[in-house]
Amino acid sequence: MINTHEEVILNRLLDKYEKSKSFTGSNKVNQRFSIRPLDLFPEYENHANLDEFALVNEAVEVLKRKGYIEAQLLPGRVVKQVSLRLEALEAVYEALSRVPKAETNDLLWNLLEEYSAKTEILTRFCEDQKVRLENNKRAKYFDDDLRDYRDLLEAVSALERIELETYERDFSMSIFKDSKRFMKLKSKVEGLLFEYGDFPEKEHVLGQFNLVRTPTYVHIKGAITLRIDGMQLDFIKLASDLALSTKILDDIDEIRVLGNRVYTVENLTSFHGMNEAGAVVIYLGGFHNRVRREFIKKMFSQNSSIEYFHFGDIDAGGFYILLHLRQKTGVPFQAYRMNIDTLKQYCDFTKKTLENDEVRLKRLLDTEFRETIEYMLANHCKLEQEAVI
């Protein structure tokens, strides 16, 4: 049986060993792994806390007797430092019921090999993690739970197979037989996809795969008519917009744009504020997933002679969304009011760019937005589209 103080000492010593060149076998000299009890137990040398002093010393003495450590003492029985005995490694792991890092890494490697060829994103991710393991670094998104890690990789893999808009709870039930399991992994799934995929914003990643929490809608207004299963909808006769469930978009037979411009808008407030005569304004209700993109492609195929614009935030995310929208739909969207003139006009409403904003902006310097981005970097500014009237 091992007590708390003994456990803390041994675990810290093993942590140091597992981060070392001795662990990887790349060391050129013999290494010694030592710690000071005072670094682990701040009250150890507090003369008003003799109980702590006695508990630490007793733990050190027990570990010495078992042959796990060596100890260096100062006058007054003060333990200066303790060192791990490498010849006792196997016994120390067993005493702690701790799985050796080498064994865990072998299991991780096999798991990464299994999922590496599942999708392009997983290929990039898994190969990167194997390099990290080879360099004795922790695999990203791994929290010492192999079951969680397998489920993370399985969730990422399964997302590629979603064809129709699917609710998160249904997705979770279909792959884990547990409606709440995916929620525990969701933030890691989003992080992995955003880091190793090609997505404008992390919060919109799952929507790209048709995975949603609740039913989603496309808001439409302006000079447009739709025919859905033989029923004609004339939006120009409506006083306001109409929200169509994405479930119904595939049933649209005909789209007729009566004006000469179509705008897609990133923000719902901005959507309601746009009332240009003869134009069609569309709020996609979030990121443009496959269902929404098919609607846009169908509209363009039947109305290719008019102009298409996208109105979004003047920041890295806004530019990425526009570029992604073009790439995925094949529609030649132009940027609307996402330029230097707009930044200057609404300079009182701009926000200061953060370091991460500027890192992402620099990645877009080779695009058509270079001039605007150079201005933003020079002035450390960005602008949310709600501020643009």
Q: Please report, in tens digits, the pLDDT of each residue of the chain (389 residues total).
A: 788 999 999 999 998 988 887 787 666 557 889 999 999 999 888 888 889 999 999 999 999 999 999 999 998 889 999 999 999 999 999 999 998 999 999 999 999 999 999 999 999 999 999 999 999 899 999 998 999 999 999 999 999 999 888 999 999 999 999 999 999 999 999 999 999 998 877 888 898 888 988 878 889 999 999 999 889 999 988 878 888 888 888 889 999 999 899 999 988 899 999 988 889 999 976 566 777 888 899 999 999 999 999 999 999 989 998 998 999 899 999 999 999 999 999 999 999 999 989 999 999 999 999 999 999 999 999 999 989 87
pTM exceeds 0.75: no
- Last residue of one domain, picked from the residues 58, 74, 96: 96
Owning domain of residue 33: 4-96
Question: Do 88 and 129 reside in the same domain of the chain?
Answer: no
Question: Do 154 and 139 reside in the same domain of the chain?
Answer: yes
Question: Do 230 and 323 reside in the same domain of the chain?
Answer: yes
CA distances from 273 to 127, 245, 270 (A): 47, 22, 5
Name residue, tokens 């009890």: 37
Q: What is the CATH number of the domain that holds 63?
A: 1.10.10
Q: What is the CATH number of the domain that holds 284?
A: 3.40.1360.10
Question: Do 112 and 71 reside in the same domain of the chain?
Answer: no
CA distances from 124 to 109, 121, 130, 205 (A): 14, 5, 10, 17
Q: Which of 293, 294, 351, 269 is nearest to 317 (CA)?
A: 351
Question: Do 139 and 264 reside in the same domain of the chain?
Answer: no
Q: What is the pLDDT of residue 46?
A: 84
**Total number of domains constituting the chain:** 3
Question: Do 131 and 146 reside in the same domain of the chain?
Answer: yes
Q: What is the pLDDT of residue 25?
A: 67
Question: Do 279 and 150 reside in the same domain of the chain?
Answer: no
Name residue, tokens 């013999």: 30
